Amino acid sequence: MTSTHLTSILRRNSMLLILLALYVLVATTAQGFFTIDNQLNILRNIAVPGMIAFGMALVIIVGEIDLSVGSMVAVSACLTAWLVDKLSGGALEPAAWTVILAFVGTLLFAASIGLMAGLLRQKISVPTFITTLAMMATLAGLANLITGGVPISSFPSWYYFIGSGRLLGVPVPVYLLAIAFAITFTISNFTALGRSIYAVGGNMEAARLSGINVWRTKIICLMMTSVFAATGGIIYSSLVNAGNPTIARGLELEVISAVIIGGISLFGGKGTIWGAFIGVLFLGVLLNAMTLWGFNPYVQQVIKGGLILAAVFINFFIDRK
């Protein structure tokens, strides 16, 4: 094997090697880490940031960014609870159809927010960094406005199953994570839309001249990310059995960190959904390990930030070489 081939392998799999090294370290130093229950617990914990990271990966590859996903999670949880409450007339045990309609309404709302961000980018050239930053504050305020700052508990008794239930021993959120991965992986690797995403992110003008509908591609990615964030809000509302406006604060930073760790370039046109999964799993394993080691929560934040920086640097260095 030549040095060129070795460098190529390292470049493609650098973050995976780092993740495997972390697994070995934790498995040998933290009791109970490598059990099936703990591994499923890690996957359950990364389900929401993971599915949002898959959407964010497409957004960043296409050359944009979405800073509103954390607030979208919060407002979606609150909106779902509010819709169930209104549609059921405040019943103690709302009918299933009210929950389904609430889901549909929440996902349509999320899609419209993604559409709005895309249209503002297209029509008046407002960078999505600015647009979604403004939406982050607006949606957070809307979540508090919907609930009056007080969590809304209006769900039926079976609702907990979405966030806390298990099928064949596997947590339901893990299935939702797998579905989100399958959708985005298929789109990015096997569809014309996926090829368009990479082309637009790599060189928008060249993509336009080759006949690709640049703005439609960008808008679809932004809408998908918003819908994934709204799905995350539904999962969180099930976990706490309420629409709480304070959930998911800072989640957008965790998601973007995972995407960058996974090797996706902030300049667009480069990265994979598999890389995004490796990035979010790295953060999930790291947090789980520090909990098992008994680290102080504040110390965890410092170590997490330092290791994220180190992982990004190593990934950048290998890629540059």
Domain with residue 201: its CATH number is: 1.10.3470
Asked whether the beta carbons of 273 and 302 are under 8 A apart, the reply is no
As for how many domains the chain has, the answer is: 1
pLDDT tens track for 225-235:
999 999 999 99
115-133 mean pLDDT:
93
Domain assignment of residue 181, yes or no: yes
In sequence order, what are the beta bridge partners of 171? 166
Q: What single DSSP character describes residue 241?
A: T
Lowest-confidence range among 65-69, 252-256, 296-300?
296-300
Cα separations (Å) of 211 from 208, 214, 268, 284?
5, 9, 19, 41
Q: What is the pLDDT of residues 149-162, one digit of tens each?
A: 889 988 998 999 99
Q: Please report the pLDDT score of residue 270 as a whole number.
A: 87
pLDDT at 284 over 80: yes
pLDDT of residue 11: 57
Q: Which helix or strand (DSSP H or E) is residue 166 part of?
A: strand 166-167
141 is a domain residue? yes
Whether 4 is in a domain gets the answer no
Burial call 114-153: b when 16+ CB within 10 Å, e when fewer: bebbbebbeeeeeebeebbbebbeebbebbeebbeeebbe
pLDDT > 90? residue 109: yes
Query: Does this model's pTM top 0.75?
Result: yes
Q: What is the mean pLDDT of the chain?
A: 90
Banded model confidence at residue 250, pLDDT cuts 50, 70, 90:
confident
Beta-bridge partner residues of 170: 167
Domain presence at residue 6: no
Asked if residue 124 belongs to a domain, the reply is yes
pLDDT digits (tens, 9 = 90+) for 168-179: 999 999 999 999
Residue 7 lies in a domain: no
Rounded to an integer, what distance in angstroms lies between the CA atom of residue 243 and that of residue 155?
9
Q: Considering the domain boundaries, does residue 2 fall inside one? A: no
- pLDDT above 80 for 294: yes
Count other C-beta atoms under 10 Å from residue 17's C-beta.
13
Determine how many CB atoms are found less than 10 A away from the CB of residue 171: 19
Q: How confident is the model at residue 307 (pLDDT cuts 50, 70, 90)?
A: confident
Report long-range pairs for 176-183 (Cβ below 8 Å, ≥24 apart). 176/47, 176/51, 176/231, 176/235, 177/43, 177/46, 177/47, 177/50, 177/51, 180/50, 180/51, 180/54, 180/55, 180/228, 180/231, 181/50, 181/51, 181/54, 181/273, 181/277, 183/54
Instruction: Name the β-bridge partners of 152.
Output: 243
Domain hosting 286: range is 13-320
The arithmetic mean of pLDDT across residues 56-62, rounded, is 96
Q: Is there a domain that residue 251 lies in? A: yes
CA distance 163 to 30: 27
Pairing of strands 166-167, 170-171: antiparallel
| pLDDT of 2 above 90 | no
